[in-house]
Amino acid sequence: MQRNKKILLVSHCILNQNTVIEGEARSFGAIPTALDWIQKEGLGVIQLPCPEFTFLGLERPSMTYEEYDNKEYRQHCRNILLPVLEQLTEYIKCGYQITGILGIQSSPSCDMTRGIFIEELKKLFIEHQIAITTEWFLPDHKNPIFNSKENYIKRN
Considering the domain boundaries, does residue 155 fall inside one? no
Domain boundaries, position 20: 6-138
CB 77 within 8 A of CB 117: yes
Considering the domain boundaries, does residue 151 fall inside one? no
* pLDDT at res. 133: 84
How many separate domains does the chain show?
Answer: 1
pLDDT digits (tens, 9 = 90+) for 59-69: 999 999 999 99
Considering the domain boundaries, does residue 68 fall inside one? yes
Considering the domain boundaries, does residue 146 fall inside one? no
Contacts of 60 (CB under 8 A, 6+ apart): 21, 52, 53
Considering the domain boundaries, does residue 97 fall inside one? yes
Considering the domain boundaries, does residue 156 fall inside one? no
pLDDT over 70 (residue 9): yes
Considering the domain boundaries, does residue 13 fall inside one? yes
Q: Report if pTM > 0.75.
A: yes
3-class DSSP assignment, residue 93: helix
d(C-alpha 96, C-alpha 31), whole Å: 25
Share of the chain above pLDDT 90, in %: 81
pLDDT digits (tens, 9 = 90+) for 30-59: 999 999 999 999 999 999 999 999 999 999
pLDDT digits (tens, 9 = 90+) for 82-124: 999 999 999 999 999 999 999 999 999 999 999 999 999 999 9
Considering the domain boundaries, does residue 10 fall inside one? yes
E-only strand ranges, the chain: 6-10, 44-47, 97-104, 134-138, 152-154
d(C-alpha 114, C-alpha 151), whole Å: 15
